[in-house]
Amino acid sequence: MSLKKSWELALIDLWDSLRPPSFDIMLILVATLSGILSVLEPVTTPPAVGNAVLGAVLFVTSLYLALRASSDLVNLVQTGVMPLYLTYPISRRNISLIIYLTRVLLPSIILLGIPAIVAGIMLYPVVGKNISEFLIMWIAYLIQAQLYGSIFILASNKSKSTGTAAVVSITGYFGYTATSLILALVGSIDNIKILTNIANSMGLYNPVYDILNGIRTPTWEIFVVPVIFIVLFITYVIYFTRRFEV
Amino acid sequence: MFWFKKLLPRILFGIGIALIIASAFATQYGVKTSSSWSIGYNSQSTPAILAAVLPTGSGIAQINITGVSQALYLNLTGNPLTLLGEAGGLGLKTVNTISHDDFQTGVYYLVTGLQGNPITAEQAFQGLVKNAQKIGNSYVVKKSLNPEESIVVLAFPNSSTVLITESFKVTGYGHISLINGLELGLALAIVSIIIEIITRKR
Amino acid sequence: MEDLIVLENVTKRYGKITALNDVSLKVKKGEIMAIVGPNGAGKSTLIKVSLGLLRKDKGTVLIFNKDPFYDPSAREKIGVIFERPSLPVSMPIIEFLSHVSKIYNKDFNTIKEVIDLVGLKGSENKAFSQLSAGQRQRAAIAHALIAEPEIIIADEPTSNLDPVERNKILDLFLKINKERDLTIIISSHVLPEVLRVSSKITIMKSGKILKVGEPDDIVKNISISRIRCKDPFTIKDVLEKNGFSLNIEGGNIYVKTEDSEKTSKLLNLISEIVKNGQQIYGIELIEPGIEEILEG
């Protein structure tokens, strides 16, 4: 029964989350981007198709999620829609999960999924060789997007200010990617293997790609992004359940 | 599921538009499946030359070298440029590096001179390398490469100019044809518009 | 009668500011409780703490004997209307109400009933953003009624409306209260507005409850006479010499009287003043505001 109530609230919130035209513009943008990227260089294996297409799409999707989380979520609070949600007989934990589903998970599934479908159609002779490998790469990118999304949603819930949330989100995103880049650079220049490994592990798609291509990779690299994501996600749910006020 | 009825045509429309644009783009600026690059390399002060083909995908790489007394080759997995760093550790210095990047074929061609003791160079790669086949005046290496693999040829010049031709033919790549892409894209866009019209009428 | 909402010694702070200071309040079934106070009195905070939208720093909040912050079932039989009607902007009202009705396990007939009741028939297919201010408030009331609640909590429901719409909305509350035997809590910063609809009034200021009682107990016999005249200062002197407390605002004289005898005396005195040749354009008896009540 509680699940049914939560689902109805999710449908209400999805209406706002996926409303045109900004979502449609993004959809066409990322789909076209992936179509173009898929024919730009000759990728000959399904994981390589994933990397060639989804890397750029992840960047665009992350920026979109950051901006929408900071503006829309804060708007929900400021316009009184979030207080309305909280007056329904639905637990705070479920509402936090609904908000995550509608504001992060579903938009990222669509914005990463549609480009993957386009790339799959464009390069069907390549992707068709091993669809499951292509799917595994896609899931790796999706989990990476969840990591960024949970930073954004946490920032907007905590700050409840569009400006602050946007700054924290964008800083968080670029800070994370810049750290990974610097570690990779230092690791490569000074030949410090552990730094290279850490940098590699900060993008889940790197170790996943390596493993799918038979390149030897430390197993722990696969767990770094999921663990950071789970920690951030749990923090968000606990914050929303126990401390979030409107 | 009102929202889904609303979302489905939007998604189909997005995919349709993307297929039309990407198919047209592929015809004009898309992937080339073969490329080659030739260079006359001045080898007067370089006792050894390293020539490499570094592709991003799978394919058949070929390196032809004329003007050398011996040519050895090896297949590498991972980034072969690290090999140059390791060569540096053996007292070998890379000089006069010339490269060519063919983005549309997804291949990086590289030629570099190695200064130092050529015997050291030979010893450094011993055990890893195989002899290249000699055809006429040229040494030829032709290998099928998997993704993340590259081929490196180590050659010892016996003339002042070494002629190197590197080529790569992509295998295992294919994309939707222009006409199929346009047809499918248009069909999806039309279907999405029809769904939208039906939904609005209801 | 049973207490549906109970607040005991509730304190709520925003940093160093104490928004609610040791507040206790009980709302009984069937009451229309008006929470009145100037801006910043803590009315909205009281409502939000009661609904579990804000955490309390101290005290107990119970709705139907459950803590609404932790127990969502406490909110099962509550309809809420906020100051600025706030439904999802782009969704058609009927679509939105349809989803909400499923949250409360109600059927489509409930939606039709509430749309008829609030007078929104014909506009139900419009998006919330396409409605006028009055229609938006009606849509918000319809939304609050979907749950077939036992309690309606309305935070300044008339503050963004013109006087005609205000009266219509307040009449609607009265109607709902009578027809459905609902308990209603309305907050407002305008006392006269809620006097005619409420069965109990709570007066708040600076985060504290200053008075709780029935409208007659609160207002007692205090009345304010507004005198519109040509020469307010001459009349002011006469009234002050006769022991009336008054002030002049916008060229009008406002005289406060605490009982009917004094009001009668004032009217007689005004009659004398007119006889003496002073020009008076009109005299009206108006309900006292919060300040007069607190002073009285």
Does A121 sit within 8 Å of B19, measured CB to CB?
A: yes
Residue of C54, C80, C83 with shortest CB distance to A87: C80
**Of the candidates A36, A41, A114, which has its C-beta nearest B104's C-beta?**
A41
**Neighbours, chain A (3 or more CB pairs < 8 A):** B, C
Tell me the C-alpha distance between B175 and B153, whole Å: 32
Residue A74's pLDDT is what? 86
Neighbours of chain C (3+ CB pairs under 8 A): A
End-to-end Cα spacing for chain A: 26
- Which residue's entry shows tokens 């207080």? A83
As for how many domains chain A has, the answer is 1
Residue C239: CA atoms inside 13 Å, Cβ hemisphere, count?
29
Res A188 pLDDT > 90 = no
* Per-residue confidence band for B124, with pLDDT thresholds at 50, 70 and 90: low
Chain B residues lying within 8 Å of A209, measured CB to CB: none
- Kind and range of the H or E run holding B150: strand B149-157
C227-286: pLDDT as tens digits: 998 888 888 888 989 888 888 888 899 998 888 788 889 888 988 888 888 888 988 888
Lowest mean pLDDT among A198-202, B86-90, C104-108: B86-90
Residues 186-215 of A with CB under 8 A from C: none
Q: To the nearest whole percent, how much of chain B has pLDDT over 70? A: 85
**Nearest in space to C137 (alpha carbons), one of C173, C103, C106:** C173
Q: What is the pLDDT of residue C215?
A: 87
Pairing of strands B59-66, B130-131: unpaired
pLDDT range class, residue B84, cuts 50, 70, 90: low
- Main-chain phi, psi angles of A20, to 5 degrees: -75, 165
What percent of chain C has a predicted confidence (pLDDT) above 90? 43
The CATH number of C223-295, from 3.40.50.300, 3.40.50.150, 3.30.70.260, 3.30.590.20, is: 3.30.70.260
Domain boundaries of chain C, sorted by first residue: 3-219, 223-295
Fold of the domain built from segment(s) C3-219? Rossmann fold (3.40.50)
CATH class of B34-170: mainly beta
Q: How far is A130 from chain B (nearest CA, A)?
A: 12
Compute the average pLDDT of residues C100-120. Answer: 91
DSSP lists the bridge partners of residue B198 as none
pLDDT above 70: percentage of residues in chain A: 100
Closest residue by Cα to residue A125 from A196, A44, A69, A200: A44
Q: What is the dihedral of CA B121, B125, B129, B132, to 10 degrees?
A: -10
- Is residue A148 within 8 Å of residue A155, measured between CB atoms? no
Instruction: Find the DSSP H helices in C8-92.
Output: 43-51
How confident is the model at residue A118, as a pLDDT? 95
Nearest CA in chain A to C97: A12
Burial A152-179 (b: 16+ CB within 10 A, else e): bbbbbbbbbbbeebbebbbebbeebeee
How many other C-beta atoms are found inside a 10 Å radius of the C-beta of residue A19?
17
Q: Which of A161-175, C15-29, C75-89 has the lowest mean pLDDT?
A: C75-89
B/e letters for A54-70, b = 16+ CB within 10 Å, e = fewer, are beebbebbbbbbbbbbb
Gap from B163 CA to chain A (nearest CA, Å): 27
Tell me the residues of chain B between 52 and 111 that have a Cβ less than 8 Å away from chain A: 56-59, 77-78, 103-106
Contact yes or no for A35 and B170 at CB 8 A: no
Is 70 exceeded by the pLDDT of residue C139? yes
- Selected residues 34-93 of chain A with any CB under 8 Å from a CB in chain C: 79-81, 83-84, 86-92
Decide if pLDDT at B1 tops 60: no
Distance from CA of A78 to the nearest CA of C (A): 10
Asked if A44's CB is within 8 angstroms of B15's CB, the reply is no
d(CA C263, CA C146): 47
Nearest-CA residue of chain B relative to A48? B57
Q: CA–CA separation, A183 vs A169, rounded Å?
A: 21
Question: For A203-207, A234-238, C70-74, C83-87, which range has the lowest pLDDT when averaged over its residues?
Answer: C83-87
Distance CA C33, CA C216 (A): 14
The answer to whether C129 and C89 have CB atoms below 8 angstroms apart is yes
How far apart, in whole angstroms, are the C-alpha atoms of residue C203 and residue C217?
12
A53 and A115 Cβ atoms separated by less than 8 Å: yes
Q: Burial level of A78, CB count in 10 A (0-12/13-18/19+)? A: middle
What's the pLDDT tens digit per position in B51-79?
999 998 899 999 999 999 999 998 887 66
Q: Where are the alpha helices (DSSP H) in chain A?
A: 2-17, 22-38, 46-68, 74-78, 81-87, 92-100, 106-122, 124-127, 131-159, 162-189, 193-201, 205-212, 221-242
The residue segments making up the domain with residue A91 are 2-242
- Tens of pLDDT, residues C165-222: 888 888 888 888 888 889 999 999 888 888 888 999 999 999 999 989 998 888 777 7
| pLDDT band, very low/low/confident/very high, at A96 (cuts 50, 70, 90) | very high
What are the Cα distances from residue B77, in Å, to A133, A214, B144, B145, C281? 20, 10, 13, 10, 102
Contact C103 A5 (CB under 8 A): yes
ipTM of the complex: 0.85
Q: What is the pLDDT of residues C266-279, one digit of tens each?
A: 888 988 888 888 88
Measure Cα distances from A35 to A88, A125, A134 in Å.
43, 15, 15
Sheet containing strand C223-229, edge to edge, reads C245-249, C252-257, C223-229, C280-286
